[in-house]
Amino acid sequence: MSKIRFTEPNREILARRDSIINDLTRLVDPAGLITSADECRAYETDALTAYRKMPLAVVLPKTTEEVSAVLKYCHDTGVKVVPRGAGTSLAGGAIPSEDAVVLGLSKMNRVLAVNYDDRFIRVEAGVTNLSVTAVVAENGFFYGPDPSSQLACTIGGNIANNSGGAHCLKYGVTTNNLLGVRMVLIDGSIIDLGGDYLDSAGLDLLGLVVGSEGQLGIVTEATLRILKSAEGARPVLFGFPSCEGAGKAVADVIAAGIIPVAIEYMDKAAIEICEAFAKAGYPLDVEALLIVEVEGSDAEMDATLADITAIARANGATTVRESRSAIETAAIWKGRKSAFGATGRVADYLCMDGTVPTGKLSYVLAEISKIVQRHGLRVANVFHAGDGNIHPLILYNANDPSQQSKAEAAGDDILRLCVEVGGCLTGEHGVGIEKRDLMGCQFDDADLAQQIRVRAAFDPRWLLNTDKVFPLDFRCQG
Amino acid sequence: MQTNFSLTALADAHVSESEKILRACVHCGFCTATCPTYLLLGDEADSPRGRIYLIKDMLEEEKPATPQVVEHIDRCLTCLSCMTTCPSGVHYMHLVDHARAHIARTYTRPLPDRLLRGMLAKVLPFPGRLRLALRVATVSRPIRKWFANLPGGTQLAAMIELSSSFKRRRPTRRLPGATVDRPRGRVALLSGCAQQVLGQNINEAAIRLLTRHGIEVVQPIDEGCCGALVQHLGYESRALDAARHNVDVWTREIENGGLDAIVVTTSGCGTVIKDYGFLLRNDNAYAQKAARISALARDITEFLHELPLQDGVRTTGQVVAYHSACSMQHGQQVRDQPKSLLRRMGFVVREVPEGHICCGSAGTYNVLQPEIANRLRARKVTNIEKVKPQIIASGNLGCITQIGAGTGIPVVHTVELVDWAMGGPLPDVLGRRLG
Ligand SMILES: Cc1cc2nc3c(=O)[nH]c(=O)nc-3n(C[C@H](O)[C@H](O)[C@H](O)COP(=O)(O)OP(=O)(O)OC[C@H]3O[C@@H](n4cnc5c(N)ncnc54)[C@H](O)[C@@H]3O)c2cc1C
Ligand code: SF4
Ligand code: SF4
């Protein structure tokens, strides 16, 4: 294991640890400064637990001003900073460096304003994705992007990774639902980008910030678009005797110009895992399952479903089952959204995240099973098929170092395959450390150099989330 | 998650069990979102995932517990909300029990803390001593502020403060069992230690309900505390002794007359009795017997729900906020039965927003961690009052006392309401309102 390298920690910073901590005590509330080894350890990793680094210290500010004071201090004294939301990154985006201070937003979890007339909500960056919807649900509104981790992940993390979810096929990902941010730059200056409405004057810097993985600044507040919930919604389960049939059905639905709210894919391995956990009534006698959700008035749903069912049948669907109650609908989604966690019951996994053109889904799925077999491992597939955003879960035994490296090698092969078929390395989980060294497969040197120049314009000393996103070697040339 | 235990460490049955639990955790963080202490404090080390991680390090390295680890484990309410949330089936309860026992073995608490915990463990499980202690507390009430300045005094003051909310309930003696003609079933009803002193009316109602339905009720005289209190304080061997004792007592009842269930009206105790089979799994003499006892344990609402119930005889329709105790909804996963019983009796049952979050009672927690407990109570009461109930119902004495101390709305046990609806007496605290 430990294929992924970290830069050598700066010894001079390590030597100054005590005085840095001493200085930080003056900048944040004592309850928000964590320095003991035992307590810092809780922050040494995120959801990519194969990699761990103990941070220099952890600060949990309560206000934008505290964030600003800490960043200014770190900037002036050359200390690296790793932003952290809920630590659910699957790409190691929130994993610290030994010479870095982790700046966590978890104490900044207040709702600042809700405006139903203009349909926006303003929250602090540490608010979880699901609690945004929870706040507005009683008035019939919701927040569109719904990562499977929505119960726990924060809006700040969502912005940094441009997160998406099952329902983003219709509603778009984070970037399509973010109206504005308040952000602190590494030198401590506080800027506001965007506003309370879609699109704003000047350069689209907001677009730049979305997906920047904490390297351009730390988001402390966000204004989000909220939407009126549809009159009704109905998920339908389509079971297929072959993965190819299911993949082809997705491609045909998209090609026909039909946009359901969600098209989620599960293969047999994933169906078994999720059914055991959620008892959602997924068919167990099929090779692949599509969960397709439609919404609107009954007539609208019936019409769309008739079209989709015809396509599914033409591709060999053997089971077609509509949800008949709110409880059943909840169970169907609970099973899907818990898929990764539930996989933990049977094995450790590496969750891959790439995007492929929907027309290539069947081919890619077949290739993935060959790749994983070649490395002597197993795979479970559960993903946002409508967007072509695949998540093969490579199953392995984390206590066996040889399996860890096989899993990582298989993962790399899968991501290269995504790029080869005209897709991309990341769907929604970000690059982090996990895909950093594969960036060269996707971008040529000129592309990377330009991205690095943009990054350096915000953070010339490379203090923010230093080891992430850009290949370590390339950065020196950049 | 990857683990790193030595083979010698894994030879220990506790360690190997904990290793399995740790291996199942994928560090996804879902559980952080439903953990009361993480919601309030926002520190990963006060979240389930963080605690699991700290415990993992402590056990892997075979290190004595440090004050920091102890602080974060002590702040855990053992509400088990994290277990309901976890998609991966991580058994946090068994892991934290192991951690608490490890702390008790390897860490010397500061003297005031030790005295307080020792006192709680020596008083609460024994009805006679508890009665006496409450009398002392009542007398000390006027000087409780003075305690607050002593080391460990905030906890002592909290205890005295809390004891005042017990006053309304009349203390009585242990109830005798109840026989019926041609019984259709026979159950043992757990007396409960604190409940005998503070909430006898609850078991009185339960007995009336059960006998009304032709169920014979026995209350073995030598039954002891279920062991939950000492277990959560980290006194592992005392908890096991308590479990063995009760296993013997109930096994005797099974052998002399048979038992269809061991019925529990305090969900905190129910969770532990349902776990006896696990606790005593490595004790050859007891493993099987304990598993049988656990399989027979039922919350009173679970048991009633399976009976062909009589109809209510009173005019109901009152708006009831049902507060599900953590030990009920998370510990035992009993969710719908209490509400459906109340609805069946004609009450208008309202769900409490954020119902999955603890009220702060959590056994001895409101004494040991008064600050967090008070914040959780305030949050709970605000949420309950949002649904504008006339009555609050719950299935756990701890919650009833905790919530009762924070609101003017009467709080009763679910069975007291059901019993009243079927013709039993009106619970005291409702006297003035519905009488
Ligand atoms: C079981 C599981 C399922 C998942 N499902 C999905 C899914 O369906 N769709 C999806 O898109 N993702 C999914 N994810 C990945 C992850 O939840 C998302 O990437 C999420 O947006 C991360 O949010 P977080 O708050 O946990 O951020 P963290 O993990 O803490 O951080 C993620 C990145 O954001 C940066 N960051 C965090 N907060 C800020 C801030 N305020 N300002 C600047 N930078 C910041 C960090 O430095 C890091 O680079 C899943 C993860 C898990 C474990
Ligand atoms: S939800 Fe379960 S698997 Fe995920 S971090 Fe918590 S305990 Fe671990
Ligand atoms: S038992 Fe409750 S307080 Fe303890 S970690 Fe789990 S959710 Fe948090």
Q: Estimate to the nearest angstrom the gap between the alpha carbon of A43 and the chain centroid.
A: 19
Whether A149 and B30 lie within 8 Å, measured CB to CB: yes
- Other beta carbons less than 10 A from residue A364's beta carbon: 22
How far away, in angstroms, is A274 Cα from ligand 2 center? 16
Residue B435 has pLDDT above 60, yes or no: no
Q: Which residues pair with A295 in a beta bridge?
A: A233
**Beta carbon of A175 within 6 Å of any ligand 1 atom:** no
Nearest CA of chain A to the CA of B231: how many Å? 25
Provide residues with CB under 6 Å of ligand 3. Answer: B 35-37, 48, 51, 76-82, 92
Which helix (H) or strand (E) element contains residue A158? Answer: helix A155-161
Give the mutation target among A88, A171, A176, A455 for probing the ligand 1 site: most ligand atoms within 8 A of CB: A88
Q: Which residues in chain A touch residue B1, judged by CB atoms under 8 angstroms apart?
A: 49, 348, 398
* Percent of residues, chain B, with pLDDT higher than 90: 74
For residue B171, count CB atoms less than 10 angstroms from its CB and return exposed for 0-12, middle for 13-18, buried for 19 or more: middle
Whether A46 and B27 lie within 8 Å, measured CB to CB: yes
* CA–CA gap between residue B170 and residue B428 (Å, rounded): 9
Nearest CA of chain A to the CA of B31: how many Å? 8
Whether A41 and B57 lie within 8 Å, measured CB to CB: yes
* CA–CA gap between residue A279 and residue A282 (Å, rounded): 8
CB B320 within 8 A of CB B336: no
Whats the size of chain B, residue-wise?
Answer: 435
What is the ipTM score, two decimals?
Answer: 0.95
Which helix (H) or strand (E) element contains residue B56? Answer: helix B48-60
Q: What is the pLDDT of residue B142?
A: 67
Measured between CB atoms, which of A46, A50, A342 is closest to B88? Answer: A342
Inform me whether the C-beta atom of residue B50 falls under 8 Å from chain A C-beta atoms: yes
Nearest CA of chain A to the CA of B50: how many Å? 5
Helix A243-255 to helix A298-314 angle (10° resolution) is 130
Q: What 3 state SS string does A127-147 have?
A: CEHHHHHHHHHCCCEECCCCC
Inform me whether the C-beta atom of residue B89 falls under 8 Å from chain A C-beta atoms: yes
Q: Which residues pair with A265 in a beta bridge?
A: A290, A383
**Beta carbon of A164 within 6 Å of any ligand 1 atom:** yes
Q: Characterize A171-187 residue by residue with b for buried, 16 or more Cβ atoms within 10 angstroms of its Cβ, and e for exposed.
A: bebbbebbbbbbbbbbb
What domains does chain A contain, in order, with CATH numbers? 1-229 (3.30.465.10), 233-340 (3.30.70.2190), 347-420 (3.30.70)
Q: Which residues in chain A touch residue B25, judged by CB atoms under 8 angstroms apart?
A: 344
Inform me whether the C-beta atom of residue B7 falls under 8 Å from chain A C-beta atoms: no
List Cα–Cα distances, B1 to A302, A325, A408, B42, B306, in angstroms. 44, 36, 16, 23, 40
Which atom, in ligand 3's list, is nearest to the CA of B51? 5
- Other beta carbons less than 10 A from residue A284's beta carbon: 12
Residue bearing the bigger pLDDT, B177 or B61: B61
Q: Could you give the angle at the alpha carbon of A199 between the alpha carbons of A194 and A204, nearest 5°? A: 65
| Ranges of residues in chain A whose predicted pLDDT is under 70 | 1-2, 475-478
Most B CBs within 10 Å, among A2, A29, A36, A38, to test the B interface = A38
Q: What is the pLDDT of residue B420?
A: 96
Please name the residue that has the structure tokens 């460490």: B9
Q: Which residues in chain A touch residue B371, judged by CB atoms under 8 angstroms apart?
A: none
Task: Please spell the DSSP secondary structure of B264-309, one letter per residue.
Answer: ES-HHHHHHHTTHHHHTTT-TTTHHHHHHHHHHEEEHHHHHHTS-P
Question: What is the strand order of the sheet A80-84 is part of?
Answer: A33-34, A57-59, A100-104, A80-84
Inform me whether the C-beta atom of residue A146 falls under 8 Å from chain B C-beta atoms: no
* CA–CA gap between residue B318 and residue B341 (Å, rounded): 14
List Cα–Cα distances, B216 to B246, B262, B266, in angstroms. 19, 12, 19
Instruction: Name the band, by pLDDT with cuts 50, 70 and 90, for residue B171.
Output: very low
- Locate B422 and state its tokens: 């079927």
How far away, in angstroms, is A93 Cα from ligand 1 center? 8
Q: What is the pLDDT of residue A370?
A: 96
Helix (H, G, I), strand (E, B) or coil at A70: helix
B319-434 carries CATH number 2.60.40: no
Whats the size of chain A, residue-wise?
Answer: 478
Rounded to two decimals, the pTM is 0.94
Instruction: Name the band, by pLDDT with cuts 50, 70 and 90, for residue B160.
Output: low
Residues 322-341 of A with CB under 8 A from B: 338-341
Measured between CB atoms, which of B2, B28, B44 is closest to A47? Answer: B28
Most B CBs within 10 Å, among A45, A51, A67, A106, to test the B interface = A106
* CA–CA gap between residue A292 and residue B10 (Å, rounded): 46
Cβ neighbours of residue A17 closer than 8 Å, sequence gap 6 or more:
A56, A57
* CA–CA gap between residue A161 and residue A93 (Å, rounded): 9
Which atom, in ligand 1's list, is nearest to the CA of A105? 41
Which helix (H) or strand (E) element contains residue A170? Answer: helix A168-171
Which helix (H) or strand (E) element contains residue B221? Answer: none
Cβ neighbours of residue A222 closer than 8 Å, sequence gap 6 or more:
A122, A123, A125, A155, A156, A159, A178, A180, A181, A182
Q: Whose CA is nearest to atom 18 of ligand 1?
A: A89
CA-wise closest residue to B220 among B242, B195, B184, B248: B248
CA end-to-end distance (rounded Å), chain A:
28
Q: Which residues in chain A touch residue B57, judged by CB atoms under 8 angstroms apart?
A: 38, 41
Which helix (H) or strand (E) element contains residue A364? Answer: helix A361-374
Give the mutation target among A109, A148, A468 for probing the ligand 1 site: most ligand atoms within 8 A of CB: A148
Q: Residue A259: phi, psi to the nearest 5? A: -115, 90
Q: Characterize B294-314 residue by residue with b for buried, 16 or more Cβ atoms within 10 angstroms of its Cβ, and e for exposed.
A: bebbbbbbbbbbeeebeebee
* CA–CA gap between residue A93 and residue A83 (Å, rounded): 9
Please name the residue that has the structure tokens 């998370």: B330
Whether A38 and B26 lie within 8 Å, measured CB to CB: no
CB B358 within 8 A of CB B292: no
Q: Which amino acid is at B62?
A: E
Please name the residue that has the structure tokens 């505290």: A66
Residue-wise pLDDT for B330-355, tens only, equals: 999 999 999 999 999 999 999 999 99
CA-wise closest residue to B197 among B125, B122, B136, B121: B125
The region of weakest confidence among A345-354, B9-18, B163-172, B361-370 is B163-172
Q: Which residues in chain B touch residue A149, judged by CB atoms under 8 angstroms apart?
A: 28-30
Residue B173 has pLDDT above 60, yes or no: no
Which atom, in ligand 2's list, is nearest to the CA of B85? 1
Residue bearing the bigger pLDDT, B83 or B122: B83
How far away, in angstroms, is A462 Cα from ligand 1 center? 21
Whether B1 and A348 lie within 8 Å, measured CB to CB: yes
CATH class belonging to B7-106: mainly alpha
Q: What is the pLDDT of residue B162?
A: 61
Is the CA virtual torsion A370, A376, A381, A386 positive or negative? Answer: negative
Measured between CB atoms, which of A42, A49, A341 is closest to B88? Answer: A341
Cβ neighbours of residue A262 closer than 8 Å, sequence gap 6 or more:
A166, A167, A169, A170, A235, A291, A292, A293, A384, A386
Give the mutation target among B76, B83, B100 for probing the ligand 3 site: most ligand atoms within 8 A of CB: B76
How far away, in angstroms, is B31 Cα from ligand 3 center? 8
Taking the CA of B90 as reference, the closest ligand is 2
Q: Residue B413: phi, psi to the nearest 5? A: -80, 145
* CA–CA gap between residue B164 and residue B134 (Å, rounded): 9
Give the mutation target among B92, B94, B327 for probing the ligand 3 site: most ligand atoms within 8 A of CB: B92
Inform me whether the C-beta atom of residue A260 falls under 8 Å from chain B C-beta atoms: no
Taking the CA of A90 as reference, the closest ligand is 1
Q: Which residues pair with A444 in a beta bridge?
A: none
Q: Which residues in chain A touch residue B49, judged by CB atoms under 8 angstroms apart?
A: 42
How far away, in angstroms, is A81 Cα from ligand 2 center? 26
Q: Characterize A313-348 residue by residue with b for buried, 16 or more Cβ atoms within 10 angstroms of its Cβ, and e for exposed.
A: eebebeebeebeeeebbebbbbbbbbbbbbbbbbbb
Nearest CA of chain B to the CA of A437: how many Å? 23
Residues 13-32 of A with CB under 8 A from B: 31
Q: What 3 state SS string does A404-471 have?
A: HHHHHHHHHHHHHHHHHCCCECCCCCCCCCCCHHHHHHHCCHHHHHHHHHHHHHHCCCCCECCCCCCC
* CA–CA gap between residue A151 and residue A132 (Å, rounded): 10
Whether B53 and A340 lie within 8 Å, measured CB to CB: no
Helix (H, G, I), strand (E, B) or coil at B10: helix
CB A96 within 8 A of CB A45: no
- Locate B256 and state its tokens: 């002399």
- Locate A307 and state its tokens: 């079209």
* CA–CA gap between residue B393 and residue B404 (Å, rounded): 11
Instruction: Name the band, by pLDDT with cuts 50, 70 and 90, for residue B168.
Output: very low
Sketch the domain layout of chain B as residue ranges: 7-106, 319-434
Inform me whether the C-beta atom of residue A206 falls under 8 Å from chain B C-beta atoms: no
Q: Could you give the angle at the alpha carbon of A368 between the alpha carbons of A364 and A370, nearest 5°? A: 120
Taking the CA of A45 as reference, the closest ligand is 1
Q: What is the pLDDT of residue A192?
A: 96
Output the furthest CA–CA distance in chain B (Å, rounded).
66
Residue B174 has pLDDT above 60, yes or no: no
Q: What is the pLDDT of residue A478?
A: 39
Backbone φ/ψ region at B42: left (φ over 0), alpha (ψ -120 to 50), beta: left
**Beta carbon of A165 within 6 Å of any ligand 1 atom:** yes
* Minimum CA–CA partner of A58 in chain B: B43
CB A161 within 8 A of CB A211: yes
Which helix (H) or strand (E) element contains residue A246? Answer: helix A243-255
